[in-house]
Structure 1
Amino acid sequence: MKPKINNAVGPQVRDRKPKKQRLLPALGAVSVLGGLQAATQFFAYTFNYQDNLGGHINHVYAPWSILSWASDWYSIYPDEFMRSGSIGMVVTTVGLLGVAIAKVVTSNSSKASEYLHGSARWAEKKDIQAAGLLPRERTALEVVTGKDAPTSTGVYVGGWEDKDGKFYYLRHNGPEHVLTYAPTRSGKGVGLVVPTLLSWPQSTVITDLKGELWALTAGWRQKHAKNKVLRFEPASSNGGVCWNPLDEIRIGTEYEVGDVQNLATLIVDPDGKGMDSHWQKTSYALLVGVILHALYKAKNEGTPASLPVVDAMLADPERDTGELWMEMATYGHVDGQNHPAVGSAARDMMDRPEEEGGSVLSTAKSYLALYRDPVVARNVSKSEFRIKDLMNHDDPVSLYIVTQPNDKARLRPLVRVLTNMIIRLLADEMSFEKGRPVAHYKHRLLAMLDEFPSLGKLEILQESLAFVAGYGIKCYLICQDLNQLKSRETGYGPDETITSNCHVQNAYPPNRIETAEHLSRLTGQTTVVKEQITTSGRRTSAMLGQVSRTIQEVQRPLLTPDECLRMPGPTKNAAGDIEKAGDMVIYVAGYPAVYGKQPLYFKDPVFQARASVDAPKLSDKLRIVAEPEGEGVTI
């Protein structure tokens, strides 16, 4: 027999064993047993078996009794056995004939291939449990030993209703990252972000527009999750925490120049579009030298070092810039010797023509204009926490990066600097023991970045998604739609790798056809069996002339772009508040897509109680800084 071609793809198809035809062999066996039973009963009837009182015995004998009787008595009653055998042969023949007819009918019947064009389907409960979004059922051993049922933990990625209408929260606790597509005012905050922040017990970094997440979640995280809650709002002087980017430079080590270069790149490229112009590149080189000079002066003389100080050095009205270049070229930075990077930057400026040097200087100062705001300058003049504290403090730390809508655009460079440093400084060390990585942190970190494409292209974020999970960092990235993510101007371009590195993707009903097409492709192709009926003959006649039925397999997306666009969204009242949750789709790599339901934290009494805990009036501070130029002491 020719072996069947191995062309099955996908676990739900490959693991599907072909059905063995058991009905027809069973009917054949029944036919043989029926013939033996008929022969046995006829033989017993022929001899008119009676009991001891003379009554007839109404007894059913075993089918094979005729065989044992023939072995004992055939020589005495040959005619009776022949008649009984004939009866049995007739019954067996009729049964086997029926089996043969059934075999012919089934062989000539058409069968549809349910996986001909694709095998996509919606996930069932066992699929969701296998994907790790729902706790599995207790095993028999766990029931016997009295162990509790496994519970689901981690970030909230959606909800799901079973056939009985029971609602389940879907949570993911693995190291893999999550990417969400959700338009503005679609309910992603109340459905995904707030429930996650009201349950995630470890450290987290949150981009918080308008401070809503601080108001709803900081109180519970501080009082019940035992987190240190930090509110970094650079444009506000009301109880926030201060942070100086220059304090994160590892001055005096082999990493100092690289750290300063990374910082200067973010300063002169505030939108992440790359340094294409001559003035950007030259001002970048200048800023590297000036920042290093300010840091070494702070180290040697105790003077303050911050971005406002760097701006003041370049824009000092009482000092000619030539004096600054000379100071940088002659200052004893390291053991009385001039630092080569600082001296080179100063020499470049002295060698330039006056007009070009003035243009380079004015370009560099334009990138530092943000730090002339006294409120921003005060908030970046000292560090009341350090980046390493997020994962290595005694208690978990929750950092809320708050930017009001009016200040969002001008604060973007500073937020980019902070986000970049968080990723770069917390994913810099890994060691192995017995072939396994060893954690160098006390707490995992969740990076909850809402509207992250609005920060501009952060190359470090795109590149680090492939490896930061090994350092205990889990990213939860939220964007409005695929266009925002793939934008050439403000996003990561059509060749982005963020979608490739996010194991879980979930989506609310989209507004753009490009996002709907992407979600449709993620869902996959399925096979639909279509029956076509053709009739012939007059409709007024007693019987139609002919009716033919044709079965045809048709390919279609499990979720078409049109159906994706028309997924029911949340129901809102006249004030715009959500009253009823809408639908959503959740994708986990390697598993069928989940057609889910949006969770709403205010419909859950537990979340409602947690959100009601008042947020603190003042931010926690992890370090006490006696003076702006002080180093700070960890508490």
Structure 2
Amino acid sequence: MRWPLYLFGALCAFAAAFLLWEASYALAVAWRTHNWLLWLRFTRGFELLLPLRAAQSEWGDPVVQNLVARATLGATIAVVVVSVIAMQIVQGVRAMRPPLGGSRLATLKDLRKADLLNGEPGYSIFLGRFNGKDVRYSGASHIYVNGPTRAGKGVGFVLPNALEWRGSLIGLDIKREIWTEIGAARAAMGQRVFLFSPGSAQSHCWNPLDLVSDWPERATDVANIARSLIPTPVTGDSYWAETARGLFAGLLGYVLDSDTMRGQRTIKSALKMMSRGRSLAAVMADILVTEPDLNEFVADKFRQHIGREEKQRMSFEAHIVTALDGWNNKLVDDATSRSDFNIADLRRKPFTILIGTPVGNFGSIEAVVRLLVQQVHDVLLRSLPGIDEPHKLLLMLDEFYQFGRMPEIVDRAPLVAGYGFQIAVIAQGLTQLDVRYGKPTRDMLVGNMDVKLLIGVGDETTAKHCADEIGKHYIRREGWGTSIGGGSLVGGMPRASRTTQGRWELEPLMPSEALRRLDGKKSVLLARGHYAAVLDKINFFMDGGYKRKVAASAPFSAQLSVPDVGADALASDWSTDAGATIVSAARGAKHDAAFARVMAAAEEIFVEAEAFRVAFVAAMNEASNEPVAALCKQLRTEPQSIAVVKKPGGFLIRRGDPSDVPTKSLRAEIIAARNLLNADRAERTGIVHGGFGSDALSSAAHVFPQVEATPPPQPVAVANASGGDVEVEKALEPADMEALVAGVNAEAAKWVEEVKATVASTLAGEKRAEFDADVGRLQTAAGLFQGTPDDLRELLSEDCQLGSPKA
């Protein structure tokens, strides 16, 4: 409603006209009487109503009436002149305004309107800073990040988001920066961190066949795997590749279906079927005879291949062998022969997968990595997230060009946002996408991403495309002209008049040249439906907040390890909750109660206490007290680095706020639980040396052979100063010591073999399994109960002593 403004304007205009009349009347009186007293009192004495009262008091005098008429005429003329001038000014201002529809750079108000300033760390994507405030994207759309080499994509986008993101994370880490710098922080969140590096001697493992469904869905799953491994050529006839895919899908179906392939259900096993010393058609013919119960899908694929001409069969088989050449590397075969993680749990229980193959090896294992990304999409797109799948997945495809062509990923990008995961495509420029997919596909991919972050622009194609997206603004072009005529000046010279004309023209707000010359400390943010914003980039290694978070999570680096690819599977199962229970040696009602009190105090502080629980259990499971002291310090100084802190009274605990008060009760419960555990360990140390175990252990112990103790060295008598003899222990020579140690080792090895033989002959079945479990508990207890140092008080007095926190 604008009528109040109109009313106010009318009142102001009336007041101005009234004052103008009074001024005219005061001037008329002064002109008539040659007395300026009324004028001076009106202007200098601020007696604004004095002219009106004077006219009213003498209104019957004809002279006064004459003066009032003259004042009214003068005021009317003044009002008309002022109105004409004001109208000219207003028209001139309106004429100078640019037309509507031009672009401009976003302000802080625009970013707030776009919901880019209220993102919660860990549940939003960090993009940069604007006037010192974090700019974060909390939506579900995908993100495109552009920047040439050394532009700051890693330190400005990849590492900050890898540190904060609390959902599952899959990222390309060919430099292993995330593993080195962020791995401990991911573990501190309670996540398991896997380094998948096919082609390397040390790597976590993943078998793509472990997630293939049963029939009839199995046909679709093996077809998707074959489609990913055998790409369609960009040019030429796709018939050969398509048929080779069908053949390989049949081989995979056989490997998964046949009883003869138990323990060998891998991609390499399917590839080896073509290298058995006979033609593949002959092998298939024998299989159809000896295994008549194969699924119809597999049998049909085999019969189709047998029925082809020999030359065709050789061509199709050559396609498969060429596409799967990476599996001829034993390290790749070993890395894809078992699974240390389950892709299906990405939304259910967050964990981290880092693809850490060195860049020099990436070309040979490109198909493996592409298959991993492909299967993530296939598995998660089977159904919408369920009630038990509250977590999101962030798929950071850094150096997107290195993945090769992934048309299925590009085609599905518009659909996956509703399935609980986001994709961050990180490339050096749009030219790379043009090389892989062509301009139309690139436009489709990038066009479906609501957020684009230009950390740097290095090529003209990207610069022009982004300049068009930023938009154009109006600029005023002016022209001058001189006309002669219309009178003359003194001396008869003609008079010249100069006129100015202008027009508005559209020009790019940030031309492509300006984007390519962008300040190295700035980035440009493009968000669909909003103005472009120029942000401040950050340097992860120079930012104080991120440095503190990395330092606080350093103790968790001990949880990071990469197994040899030929080693046995990880001891913990997929469903094992890392740190879910306190060690068995410390179980009991009193410890359960202490644990419950700690978690109750934690739930009063954190929005989700899961990350704290994992950190607490990991610290309690250590034999020394240092991890508990470090956890208390972290709670006192920066609890936000452990988990998201609740909002007490409607306000978040900011970084500068004292954290000692809200976490004091929690730290007290932690210290009490640790003291209880230390006391219990001290009391139960004797369990390790006797009286521990089940009946199976006791029944086997009585038949264990007795080990003869090694006799100590004989003392020798030496003469003392008074002539008497004193027996002292003779020091062993190095050779004698080595012989003594060798003898002890030999006796110990002999005893171990005898124990094994005794157990094998006396225990079997459930008794044997129970015995093995007892031995495992003994080994765990031996490591935990060996004299825990009583230094908790000293450790806490340095950094975390309750009641006197350091500033």
The TM tier, using the shorter chain, reads: 0.7 to 0.9
**Structural mapping, 1:443-462, within 5 Å:** 443-462=391-410
**Structural mapping, 1:246-285, within 5 Å:** 246-252=209-215, 254-269=216-231, 273=234, 276-285=237-246
Deviation string 1:74-111 (CA, Å, 9 cap, x unpaired) is 6xx35366246335414522431332441463377474
Q: CA contact under 8 A between 1:217 and 1:611: conserved in structure 2?
A: yes
Unpaired stretches in structure 2, ≥5 consecutive residues: 36-44, 485-490, 577-807
Name 2:510's counterpart in structure 1. 559
TM-score, normalisation: structure 2: 0.61
- Please say if 1:196 is aligned against 2:157: no
Residue number among 440, 455, 466 corresponding to 1:519 in the alignment: 466
Relative to structure 1, the CA distance from residue 616 to residue 107 in structure 2 (aligned partners, 3 Å threshold; closer, same or farther) is closer
- Please say if 1:361 is aligned against 2:321: no
Kindly provide the amino acid, as one letter, of the partner of residue 518 in structure 1: H
- Please say if 1:498 is aligned against 2:445: yes
Residue number among 325, 337, 340 corresponding to 2:296 in the alignment: 340
Name 2:195's counterpart in structure 1. 231
Q: CA contact under 8 A between 2:473 and 2:507: conserved in structure 1?
A: yes
Q: CA contact under 8 A between 1:505 and 1:587: conserved in structure 2?
A: yes
Relative to structure 1, the CA distance from residue 105 to residue 230 in structure 2 (aligned partners, 3 Å threshold; closer, same or farther) is same
TM-score, normalisation: structure 1: 0.77
Unpaired stretches in structure 1, ≥5 consecutive residues: 1-18, 49-57, 137-149, 432-437, 570-581
- Please say if 1:406 is aligned against 2:406: no
Separation in structure 1 between the aligned mates of residue 568 and residue 86 of structure 2, nearest angstrom: 94
Name 2:698's counterpart in structure 1. none
- Structure 1 position 288, deviation (Å): 1.1
Separation in structure 2 between the aligned mates of residue 107 and residue 322 of structure 1, nearest angstrom: 90
- Structure 1 position 293, deviation (Å): 0.6
Relative to structure 1, the CA distance from residue 632 to residue 365 in structure 2 (aligned partners, 3 Å threshold; closer, same or farther) is farther
- Structure 1 position 399, deviation (Å): 0.8
- Structure 1 position 159, deviation (Å): 2.9
Deviates more, 1:178-187 or 1:493-502: 493-502
Residue number among 171, 178, 192 corresponding to 2:136 in the alignment: 171
- Please say if 1:391 is aligned against 2:342: no
Separation in structure 2 between the aligned mates of residue 378 and residue 284 of structure 1, nearest angstrom: 23
Kindly provide the amino acid, as one letter, of the partner of residue 430 in structure 1: L
Separation in structure 2 between the aligned mates of residue 292 and residue 105 of structure 1, nearest angstrom: 85
Deviation string 1:378-424 (CA, Å, 9 cap, x unpaired) is 1110111111122212xx21110112111111111111110011012
Deviation string 1:217-275 (CA, Å, 9 cap, x unpaired) is 1111112x22211111111222x2110011111023x3110110010111111x77489
Q: CA contact under 8 A between 2:255 and 2:261: conserved in structure 1?
A: no
Relative to structure 1, the CA distance from residue 100 to residue 61 in structure 2 (aligned partners, 3 Å threshold; closer, same or farther) is closer
Kindly provide the amino acid, as one letter, of the partner of residue 233 in structure 1: S
Structure number with higher relative contact order (C-alpha < 8 Å, ≥ 6 residues apart): 1
Separation in structure 2 between the aligned mates of residue 316 and residue 301 of structure 1, nearest angstrom: 14
Q: How many residues align?
A: 550
Name 1:585's counterpart in structure 2. 524
Residue number among 526, 541, 544 corresponding to 1:605 in the alignment: 544
- Please say if 1:30 is aligned against 2:13: no
Q: CA contact under 8 A between 2:187 and 2:559: conserved in structure 1?
A: no
- Structure 1 position 461, deviation (Å): 1.6
Higher helix share: 2
Separation in structure 1 between the aligned mates of residue 164 and residue 258 of structure 2, nearest angstrom: 45
Partner SS state of residue 494, structure 1: helix
Name 1:7's counterpart in structure 2. none
Relative to structure 1, the CA distance from residue 61 to residue 345 in structure 2 (aligned partners, 3 Å threshold; closer, same or farther) is closer
Residue number among 267, 272, 278 corresponding to 1:307 in the alignment: 267
Residue number among 412, 428, 432 corresponding to 1:464 in the alignment: 412
- Please say if 1:634 is aligned against 2:575: yes
**Structural mapping, 1:25-104, within 5 Å:** 26-27=12-13, 29-35=15-21, 60=47, 62=49, 77=60, 79=62, 82-83=65-66, 85-86=68-69, 88-103=71-86
Relative to structure 1, the CA distance from residue 331 to residue 68 in structure 2 (aligned partners, 3 Å threshold; closer, same or farther) is farther
Partner SS state of residue 520, structure 1: helix
Name 1:481's counterpart in structure 2. 429
Separation in structure 1 between the aligned mates of residue 252 and residue 77 of structure 2, nearest angstrom: 100
Name 1:508's counterpart in structure 2. 455
Relative to structure 1, the CA distance from residue 24 to residue 515 in structure 2 (aligned partners, 3 Å threshold; closer, same or farther) is farther
Separation in structure 2 between the aligned mates of residue 125 and residue 212 of structure 1, nearest angstrom: 33
Name 1:125's counterpart in structure 2. 108
Relative to structure 1, the CA distance from residue 59 to residue 290 in structure 2 (aligned partners, 3 Å threshold; closer, same or farther) is closer
Name 2:793's counterpart in structure 1. none
Higher strand share: 1
Q: CA contact under 8 A between 2:183 and 2:560: conserved in structure 1?
A: no
Deviation string 1:504-531 (CA, Å, 9 cap, x unpaired) is 0111332211111011101111101234
Deviation string 1:577-599 (CA, Å, 9 cap, x unpaired) is xxxxx222110011110122222
- Structure 1 position 464, deviation (Å): 2.0
Separation in structure 2 between the aligned mates of residue 59 and residue 401 of structure 1, nearest angstrom: 82
Higher gyration radius (CA): 2
Relative to structure 1, the CA distance from residue 61 to residue 32 in structure 2 (aligned partners, 3 Å threshold; closer, same or farther) is closer
Q: CA contact under 8 A between 2:342 and 2:574: conserved in structure 1?
A: no
Q: Using the aligned pairs only, state the percent identity.
A: 22
Partner SS state of residue 476, structure 2: strand
Residue number among 334, 338, 355 corresponding to 1:378 in the alignment: 334
Relative to structure 1, the CA distance from residue 331 to residue 204 in structure 2 (aligned partners, 3 Å threshold; closer, same or farther) is farther
Separation in structure 2 between the aligned mates of residue 629 and residue 125 of structure 1, nearest angstrom: 50
Q: CA contact under 8 A between 2:146 and 2:428: conserved in structure 1?
A: yes
Name 2:693's counterpart in structure 1. none
Residue number among 201, 207, 213 corresponding to 1:244 in the alignment: 207
- Structure 1 position 361, deviation (Å): 2.6
Name 1:186's counterpart in structure 2. 151
Partner SS state of residue 204, structure 1: strand
Separation in structure 2 between the aligned mates of residue 617 and residue 429 of structure 1, nearest angstrom: 36
Residue number among 224, 249, 255 corresponding to 1:288 in the alignment: 249
Partner SS state of residue 498, structure 1: helix
Separation in structure 1 between the aligned mates of residue 348 and residue 233 of structure 2, nearest angstrom: 30
